[in-house]
């Protein structure tokens, strides 16, 4: 609601102006009135006013003098001049001061409303310019674009926001693409070198150099860190310019950050309503595939999941792998992993699921050799793996960490600690405590706790939780039991506590673990 100040020394004029039009319907309100310019200036000291409607001839201070004073204090305030007679000199001076209109009394309602509508358009344009200059505009734009791509915004709200953000909704062809930045290190979204909003902004600038007349390009980061690229075109230019734009962006990101970059382009849609479908197709392709060795621009087909099917039946020979682990033959273990992850060049970018499943099997096989396995290094990094080579490196790292500790620390425990380990193994589903166990072994709880910590390398309570999480992991991966059932079966009667402990030891939630390992 915008504020209006009426200034006139004739009370009837002031009263008439208050009722001449429906101010509320025009999103305005009469904030105050004044009888002359001096009184108006005094009231403006404590009042924010968008529009001043003032008479020309008033005692003590004329309307033009008032306008000059207000302009100094509030340059954005607008003015309408009222006069009982037409005087060219006043009109000319009012124009030089930038007034919106010069209205003769009695005021013509239609002319007043037309003037107000014109001012409202000016205000809207000024607001848009101000928003665009502010960082909040970028945040708003990214938020709206993400919601558009994810189909989480109401159609009416989107059209209103699209008009504000000047998004193209009248083109005849729309297509989505994604640029995925892959690094060896775990860089967050707020890392200055890999700050996605800045990268997306620069990509949009670079992409525009290849945009034909009548076409537009929009770039923004999605919530997973990919740079989403939207192409809007007339449909007559073909798609070569889109691939050229992606190549230019990809090359710039790679040279500026030193990271590897892959591009995936979806199918074209005939309306802006099809943008979410094109985005979904691109993201589905990335979700279903591991990226190969060559950085390239991939153009998907109709279902986005056609590549890599030849690899789906690949499974490691686990008996052979178990033997290599027990024998501690590191070089042969590496050769086994290299051979398994060797993909023929014609397969390009293999399907993600079978390789993720096999990688989990290999890592769990190694972890099962540990007395107190820590799954944080197994499942936590998986969500950040996008390449076949990255997955292979993770498997090797986890396996070698296990081999380095397993064969170096393999020794006999004292009878009391061995009894404690067996007790946990046989009764982990029940309520366990060091106090209860010490009574069974006829030992002082403090002595048993210190002995266990010294030999097992962890506290008794942590060992119990780790063992329960280990058993829960196998149930989550290899059974269809509900999470609450799994929690109860391994000794966690409070499901929320189970979730917290699982996240602590495994690095991911039970739900995230199951989404990583998809049973065939």
Q: pLDDT confidence of 311, banded at 50, 70, 90?
A: very low
pLDDT the model gives residue 309: 45
Mean pLDDT of the chain: 85
CATH superfamily of 415-516: Homeodomain-like (1.10.10.60)
Mean pLDDT of 159-180: 92
**Domain ranges, ordered by start, for the chain:** 2-132, 166-306, 310-409, 415-516
Could you report the per-residue pLDDT of 363-391, keeping only the tens digit for each? 988 888 777 777 777 887 887 888 888 89
Could you report the per-residue pLDDT of 77-104, keeping only the tens digit for each? 999 988 876 666 766 777 777 788 888 8
CATH class label, 166-306 = alpha beta
CA dihedral 336, 340, 346, 350 (to 10 degrees): -150
Instruction: Say yes or no to pLDDT of 40 above 80.
Output: yes
DSSP string, 107-144: PPHHHHHHHHHHHHHHHHHHHHHHHHHSHHHHHHHHHH
pLDDT the model gives residue 127: 79
The Cα 207–Cα 219 span in angstroms is 9
CATH class label, 2-132 = alpha beta
Query: Residue 432, class by beta-carbon neighbours within 10 Å (0-12 exposed, 13-18 middle, 19+ buried)?
Result: buried
Predicted TM-score (pTM) of the model is: 0.60
Residue 80 half-sphere exposure toward CB, CA atoms < 13 A:
24
The Cα 205–Cα 209 span in angstroms is 7
Instruction: Say yes or no to pLDDT of 283 above 90.
Output: yes
Q: Where are the beta strands (DSSP E) in 158-210?
A: 173-182
**SS3 (DSSP) at 31:** strand
Could you report the per-residue pLDDT of 389-448, keeping only the tens digit for each? 889 999 999 898 888 776 555 456 788 888 888 888 888 888 888 888 888 888 888 898
Q: pLDDT confidence of 310, banded at 50, 70, 90?
A: very low
Q: Note whether 7 and 53 are within 8 A (CB).
A: yes
pLDDT the model gives residue 409: 54
**When comparing pLDDT for 406 and 234, which is higher?**
234
pLDDT the model gives residue 86: 66
What percent of the chain is modeled with pLDDT above 70?
A: 90
pLDDT the model gives residue 88: 63
Task: Give the H/E segment covering residue 478.
Answer: helix 460-478
How many other β-carbons are positioned within 10 Å of the β-carbon of residue 441? 15
**SS3 (DSSP) at 91:** helix
């Amino acid at each position: 609601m915008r504020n209006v100040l009426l200034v006139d020394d004739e009370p009837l004029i002031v009263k008439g102006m208050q009722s001449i039009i429906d101010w509320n319907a025009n999103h305005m309100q009469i904030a105050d009135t004044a009888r002359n310019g001096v009184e108006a200036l005094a009231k403006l000291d404590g009042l924010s006013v968008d529009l001043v409607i003032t008479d020309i001839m008033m005692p003590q201070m004329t309307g033009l003098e008032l306008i000059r004073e207000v302009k100094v204090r509030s340059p954005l305030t607008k003015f309408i001049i009222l006069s009982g007679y037409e005087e060219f000199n006043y009109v000319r001076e009012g124009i030089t001061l930038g007034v919106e209109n010069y209205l003769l009394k009695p005021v013509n309602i239609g002319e007043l409303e037309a003037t107000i509508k014109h001012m409202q358009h000016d205000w809207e344009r000024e607001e848009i310019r101000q928003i665009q200059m502010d960082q909040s505009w970028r945040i708003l734009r990214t938020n709206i674009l993400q919601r558009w791509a994810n189909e989480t915004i109401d159609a009416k709200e989107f059209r209103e926001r699209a008009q504000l953000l000047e998004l193209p909704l009248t083109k005849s062809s729309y297509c989505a693409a994604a640029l995925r930045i892959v690094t060896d290190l775990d860089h967050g979204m707020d890392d200055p070198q890999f700050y996605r909003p800045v990268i997306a902004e620069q990509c949009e600038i670079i992409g525009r150099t290849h945009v034909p007349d009548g076409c537009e390009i929009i770039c923004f980061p999605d919530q997973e860190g990919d740079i989403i690229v939207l192409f809007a075109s007339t449909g007559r230019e073909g798609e070569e310019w889109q691939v050229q734009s992606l190549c230019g962006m990809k090359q710039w990101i790679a040279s500026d950050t030193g990271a590897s970059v892959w591009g995936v382009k979806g199918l074209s849609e005939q309306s802006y309503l099809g943008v979410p479908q094109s985005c979904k197709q691109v993201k589905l392709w990335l979700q279903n595939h591991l990226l190969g060795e060559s950085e390239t621009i991939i153009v998907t087909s109709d279902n986005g999941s056609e590549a890599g099917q030849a690899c789906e039946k690949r499974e490691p020979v686990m008996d052979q792998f178990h033997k290599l682990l027990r024998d501690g033959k590191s070089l042969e273990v590496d050769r086994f992993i290299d051979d398994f992850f060797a993909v023929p060049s014609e397969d390009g970018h293999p399907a993600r699921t079978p390789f993720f499943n096999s990688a989990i099997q290999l890592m769990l096989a190694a972890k099962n050799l540990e007395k107190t396995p820590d799954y944080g290094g197994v499942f936590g990094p998986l969500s950040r793996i996008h390449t076949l080579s990255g997955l292979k490196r993770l498997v090797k790292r986890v396996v070698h960490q296990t081999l380095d500790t397993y064969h170096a620390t393999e020794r006999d425990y004292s009878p009391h600690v061995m009894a404690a380990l067996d007790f946990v193994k046989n009764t982990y589903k029940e309520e366990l405590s060091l106090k209860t166990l010490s009574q069974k072994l006829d030992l002082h709880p403090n002595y048993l706790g210190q002995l266990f910590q010294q030999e097992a390398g962890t506290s008794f309570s942590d060992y119990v939780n780790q063992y329960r999480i280990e058993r829960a992991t196998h149930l989550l991966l290899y059974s269809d039991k509900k999470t609450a059932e799994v929690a109860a079966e391994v000794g966690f009667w409070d499901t929320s506590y189970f979730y917290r402990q699982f996240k602590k030891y495994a690095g991911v939630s039970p739900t995230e673990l199951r989404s990583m390992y998809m049973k065939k």
